[in-house]
Every structure is written in structure tokens, then in C-alpha cells.
Amino acid sequence: MENEREPQAGSAAQGLKLAHMNPLVLASASPRRAEILRSVGWPFETLVVEIDETPRAGEEARAYVERLAREKAEAAARRVPGRVALGADTTVCVDGEIFGKPVDKSEAQIMLRRLSGKWHEVLTGVALVRAGEDALCLVAHEITRVRFASMSAKEIEWYVATGEPMDKAGAYAIQGRAALFIEKIEGDYWNVVGLPVQLVYRLARDIS
């Protein structure tokens, strides 16, 4: 397990010591989710788990992200009984179609052409799971609407060539170069980055 306890002395977490912000086990290798937790002073450790992320036949985006978040959290919680594991999964939905991470540059370009000049939804499932005698499982999701500006073929080619889209759901990072092409956003910005931390906090309050 990689120890990711943050931040250092004098931080918001150590200053407030909110009961709802007890240490979590983050079941994710995402540097973006880790950075969001650090930014609000939430102590955590990472425990990377592997699950099958293939959508099931007929599975809607909301059910898909909640299922993956729960499976990730459950896999981590089994390895650290008594601890609360946080699982999360983010996907992009365009006209009812789920867009995960592109497998190559060609698929990234296809995704960006579909996003260009349109609204789409970003969905993140969140799960807090604890295994053992005091077991619990809380699952929810957040939805944010995002509108892309129209992108030319050269702009799409340039953006894909940066490499930024390749490990991102929907082939873009709103906190990166893709910000050049974001016209509007309705909802939680952090959800689009990869972790709706206010939703995590609401669920954590239900545990206390």
C-alpha cells in the first residue's frame, strides 16, 4: 500500500479535525482524485485494486458508474477490514452512449469530434464501504453537464497529440488544455475532474 497521508502540519485537516473527515482508503490510482482529497485536507492512503470495467449489456451510465465505484470500494475494503474504503468511477455520456478512456489516438479523435459543439454529461459514481462486523455500503452518483465549443480538425489533432486525452474518460481533462474548449458547465466542477468531493463529504457525514 502506498502511503498518501496528507497534508502536513498546519493544514485544514489538522486544524479542523472534522469527525466526518476520518482517514479513507482510496481505491484508485488516479492522481487527480488523490490531489482533490489533498486539496481539502482529507487524510487518506491509496490501495489500488483491479476490477473488470466492461459495461454490461443494456447498463445505463448511472448504474454503470455506481456499480464500478462499489466494486472498487468493496475490493479495497476486504483487504483492510474495519477501514472505510472510497471507490469512484467517472464516465462521459453522449446521447446515451458511454465514453470511457480512449484505447488509442484514433478513438480519442472520434470522441472529441462527438463532443465538439455539444452538451454532454459527466457522471461519477461514489461508494464508501467498510467490511467486517461494522459493515456499511453507501453508494451515490453526481452528474455535471458540460458544453464543448466547436473544435476544428486541427484543434482536435493538436489536442490529441499532447497526449492529455489518453487516460481520461471522454478523452479530455477539463483542468488541463481542454479548458480552452469548454464553453459552459452546469454542476460540480470537481465531478468533471474525477471526484465530487462534496458528495463524498455528504456520504461521510451519514457514517458518523
| pLDDT tens sequence across 110-150 | 999 999 999 999 999 999 999 988 899 999 999 999 999 99
208: pLDDT confidence band, cut at 50, 70 and 90? low
98, part of any domain: yes
Q: Does the structure show a pLDDT above 60 at 11?
A: no
| Catalytic residue selected from 89, 95, 104, 167 | 89
Q: Supply the CATH number for residue 113's domain.
A: 3.90.950.10
User: Which residues constitute the domain of residue 119?
Assistant: 12-207
Based on C-alpha coordinates, what's the Rg of the chain? 17
* CA quadruple 3, 71, 128, 98: dihedral sign: positive
2, part of any domain = no
Q: Does residue 3 lie in a domain region?
A: no
Greater model confidence, 1 or 135: 135
Number of domain units in the chain = 1
Q: Confirm whether 89 is a catalytic residue.
A: yes
Q: Give residue-wise pLDDT tens across range 22-79.
A: 999 999 999 999 999 999 999 999 999 999 999 999 999 999 999 999 999 999 999 9
- Beta pairing partners, 85: 25, 129
86-104 pLDDT, tens digit each: 999 999 999 889 999 999 9
Cell of 144: 455535471
Q: What is the pLDDT of residue 19?
A: 63
Q: Would residue 5 count as lying in a domain? A: no
On whether residue 197 sits in a domain, the answer given is: yes
Q: Note the pLDDT of residue 17.
A: 57
Write out pLDDT tens, residues 152-167: 999 999 999 999 999 9
Sign of the torsion formed by the C-alpha atoms of 127, 200, 53 and 94: positive
CA distance 208 to 195: 21
